[in-house]
Each structure stands twice: as structure tokens, then as C-alpha cells.
Amino acid sequence: MGHLGQNILNYELENGVNMCCDEDCSKNEINTTLIQYAVKDLLTGLGEDINREGIIKTPLRVAKALCDGTRGYSQSAKEIVEGALFPEAGVDNTKVGHAGGVGGLVIVRDLEFYSYCESCMLPFYFKCHVGYVPSGQRVLGLSKLSRVTNVFAKRLQEPQRLADEVCFALHQGIEPAGVAVVLQCTHINIPDTVFDTNHKGLVETLVSSGSGVFENKDADMWGDVFGLLKFRGIDKDKVHVKGSLDQYWCPSLSSKIGEINPIMVTAVSSILKSLGEDPTRKELVGTPSRYVKWLMNFQYCSDIDGKLKLNGSPWSGEVNFDEKEVHSELNLPFWSQCEHHLLPFHGVVHIGYFISKGCHPIEKSLLQSIVLFYGFKLQVQERLTKQIAETISPLIGGNVIVVVEASHTCMVSRGIEKFGSNTATIAVLGRFSIDLAAKTAFLESIPK
């Protein structure tokens, strides 16, 4: 019992486990409560004060988001397809023309979703292109291709299995000549060398799945699919080959796990169980440790001076405001974890400050270290921006502008699902607050 989180233990002692409960609603309530206790253990393990105002409701938000994000376990693709099959003449196999006569391929492209990675429990984004060749004189309502995909997206997943499950469910439901599914998946990844600015901080993989006339991946019919996708940046030759050795798309699978807090690991196992998953399933056995390892990147640490030795290399630049020049340090990457939802947000930081001609700017690596330091903790973007500005300000003479641009997983992997949205925050200190021309010059130096 030593590994069991204290909060969970308390709850189970008070309320019992394996209670007989037939009603879904109170079962969900118990699960949500159990997840909240587990999240409290995780926050405690990170060194956070779970009663701090900003995070006091985080356990509830995380529990709700996780239950919502895995609602696919209780949904049925069959029910979605039934009742949305419409009779349509001319899509049988008797006419001239391949694959169902003149009613050939129907494909819906560029559907955006997120799912949860079964290896590390982080949300991953994917763009789905899903098509089928009608048969039996009936077609499916277009939105159902999206809805069925979402049933399987809202589970703990791995790209290839996700594609296979969507393909299988649609084939069973529509009984068409064939189904084709192509997924472009993107997973957050903190690169080993964060100073490599060419690294996008993301891992991408492309998978496909086919049934019927698409069963054989070299079938001619795939030509129609990729013919209509090639303008969307999809190269058939880059599709992951099933069972090939490069199967570890999740970065957590290829990195070593050191010593891990057992209470936190137990807490994650308990979450998996509450979501209806089996933590002993082969693919999930290491998931709690991998998630905790990710989380520990964001362990509480207030000691920037001790950690970065900011006073070690004082800036030698000077500012003569008669010959003022704005120096821009652009696109410094960062990774952070939203303290309201325990979900990643990441992006780039742009920093501007005044410098006299001929003077050396402050070392870029120092600025990058400051940016990373404030990213690697539970954060909100507004605070991150402020902390970076306030830390840099005394180093470069008090006049600084900081812009943070970030994609928030919490804007995507929860109810609102606003794909493609991006948040920008600005902090302005000293002269930049009155010198409009300098501020404009800096903002214009930021690349798209």
C-alpha cells in the first residue's frame, strides 16, 4: 500500500471502492472525484501549494477535461452511422466506371481533431482525411465521417490504431466498396537541444488505413485519394508502413525514465482506471511513469539566480538614446504547462531592447535560459511574459519589450476545440512604453 497516494487512500477509506453502482451519473461523479484526488497528488508532487488560488480548481478542471476527452469509450460509431445512410441512385456496381459506377470516391478533407497519446497521456493533434466509395445505392451524411472519427479520437490512442479503428467502424457501418483513412498526427516534443531553432518542438507522423478496394495499399484507388490530397502537403511515400521499426512516434518512448515519485505514478494509474482504461494493458504499463516524467519538467522552482547564475556575465552593452537602436532577439522557443488545466502550451518569445551602435548585444543563450526557466513550471502566459520582462529588465538597462506567442492545448483539447488559435501577450517596460516608434519597429521585426 506504500505506493498508494494519500489523498486517494483517504477517499477510498471514506467511501469504499468497487461500490455497486448502476447509475452512470453517480459513477461518473465518483470517477471525477477520484481523478481530482489523484491530480492533487500530482500537484503536491510538483511542489505546488494545492490551495493556491490559481490552481485550487485545477483538479476539477483536469478531471472534467479528461472525462470529456475520453468520452469516446462510451460512444458507439454504429449508432452514429445508422439513420444517416441516404438512398442515392446510381452508386451501384452495375454501371460503366470503376468502383461503384459514376458514384466514385467521396472524401472529406482537413478535419481537425485531437486525441490523447496512450504512451504519455498528452493530447496530440491530427488532421484527418477520410473517404469511401459508396456501394448498395446509399451514401452517408458527410458529417458522420467526422463524428465517427471523433468517437475513436476521444480515447487513449496511437496513430495507426486510431486510423484502423476509424476505418473498420466506417466499413462495418456503411458497407461500402471501401474506406480510406489518412491521418497527419502531431505530438509535442521537447528537443534534446533546445537551442536548435530549426526544431519545431513537434513530432509528426502520417498513417493510413484502408478496407475493401483500399485494402491493398498499392491499389489504384489510392491514386484517387492521394491525387486529391497531394495539394494538401501529403506525400504518399511518407506514409508510415505498418509494423515498421520506426514505431515510436511518441518521444517519451525513446527516452529513459530515471527515478520517479511513486505516489505520482499511482495517482496516474488511478486516473487511467477512473477513465475506464486498464492500466495493466500492455501499451499502458509505462504510461504513468512517462506522464510523471513529463510533468516533472514543470516542477516548482523559484531560484532563478541559483539556477542560472544570472549575475555571472554582466551585460557590457551601452545605450545612448541619441543613437538608440532596437535590438530584437526573435523566436526563442519555450515549453510550459498551463496551471489551470495541466495541459502544455508552447511557442516562441521575442525580446527587444535598446543598444548603442557598435555595442555587443546580450548573450542570446542567457536570454534563452531565462525563457526556458520561466517556461518550465506551472504557468499562465500572462505571468510568463511579465516574469521574463522583469528578469531581463535590470540586465539591459530597464527598457525592454517582450512578446510571447503560444498555442495552448487547453484551447484545443477541451470543449471549445478552437484549432489554429494562437495567443499573444506583450509586456513593455521603461522607454518602450512611451516611444511608439521603437515599439512599432520591434513589432515589425517579428516574423510571421
Amino acid identity of 421? S
Residue with cell 466509395: 133
- Rule CB under 8 A: say whether 1 interacts with its own copies: no
- Rule CB under 8 A: say whether 175 interacts with its own copies: no
Binding pattern to its own copies, positions 354-393, x when CB under 8 A?
A: --------------------------xxxx-xx--xx---
Binding pattern to its own copies, positions 321-350, x when CB under 8 A?
A: -------------------x----------
Rg (CA), the chain: 26
Cα–Cα dist 238/352, whole Å: 40
User: What's the closest the beta carbon of residue 185 comes to its own copies, in angstroms?
Assistant: 17
Q: 186-225: which residues touch its own copies (CB under 8 A)? A: 220, 223-224
Among 103, 173, 333, 375, binds its own copies (CB under 8 A): 103
Count of C-beta atoms within a 10 Å radius of residue 91: 23
3-state DSSP call for residue 325?
strand
User: What's the closest the beta carbon of residue 85 comes to its own copies, in angstroms?
Assistant: 11
Among 30, 228, 239, 330, binds its own copies (CB under 8 A): 228
User: What's the closest the beta carbon of residue 227 comes to its own copies, in angstroms?
Assistant: 3
Q: 57-86: which residues touch its own copies (CB under 8 A)? A: 86
Among 2, 16, 87, 312, binds its own copies (CB under 8 A): 87
- Rule CB under 8 A: say whether 48 interacts with its own copies: no
Check: CB of residue 182 under 8 Å from CB of residue 225: yes
Q: Which is nearer to its own copies, 6 or 421 (CB)?
A: 421
Cα–Cα dist 42/223, whole Å: 49
User: What's the closest the beta carbon of residue 154 comes to its own copies, in angstroms?
Assistant: 13
Burial class from Cβ neighbours inside 10 Å (0-12, 13-18, 19+) for residue 208 reads buried
Among 82, 110, 283, 305, binds its own copies (CB under 8 A): 110
Q: Which is nearer to its own copies, 148 or 194 (CB)?
A: 148
Cα–Cα dist 289/287, whole Å: 5
User: What's the closest the beta carbon of residue 177 comes to its own copies, in angstroms?
Assistant: 13
Cα–Cα dist 317/303, whole Å: 26
Q: Which is nearer to its own copies, 239 or 426 (CB)?
A: 426
The per-residue DSSP string of 32-75 comes to: HHHHHHHHHHHHHHTT--TTSTTTTTHHHHHHHHHHHHTGGGG-
User: What's the closest the beta carbon of residue 380 comes to its own copies, in angstroms?
Assistant: 7
Q: 230-269: which residues touch its own copies (CB under 8 A)? A: 230-231
Stretches 95-103, 176-184, 257-265, 284-292: which one binds its own copies (CB under 8 A)? 95-103
Among 21, 241, 285, 434, binds its own copies (CB under 8 A): 434
3-state DSSP call for residue 369?
helix
**Per rule CB under 8 A, count of chain residues that contact its own copies:** 79
Integer angstrom CA distances of residue 127 from 163, 190, 207: 11, 21, 11
Handedness of CA 72, 73, 74, 80 (dihedral sign): positive
Cα–Cα dist 169/18, whole Å: 32
Among 141, 191, 361, 397, binds its own copies (CB under 8 A): 141
Half-sphere exposure of 129 (CA within 13 A, CB side): 22
Q: 387-426: which residues touch its own copies (CB under 8 A)? A: 389-390, 403, 408, 410-411, 414-426
Stretches 13-21, 135-143, 160-168, 266-274: which one binds its own copies (CB under 8 A)? 135-143
Residue with cell 473517404: 131
User: What's the closest the beta carbon of residue 425 comes to its own copies, in angstroms?
Assistant: 5
Cα–Cα dist 352/195, whole Å: 19
Q: Which is nearer to its own copies, 104 or 262 (CB)?
A: 104
Q: Which is nearer to its own copies, 158 or 224 (CB)?
A: 224
Q: Nearest CA to 121 among 239, 277, 340? A: 277
Cα–Cα dist 52/50, whole Å: 6
Among 112, 175, 204, 325, binds its own copies (CB under 8 A): 112
Q: 143-162: which residues touch its own copies (CB under 8 A)? A: 143, 146-147, 150
**Residue 24: which H helix or E strand, with range?**
helix 24-45
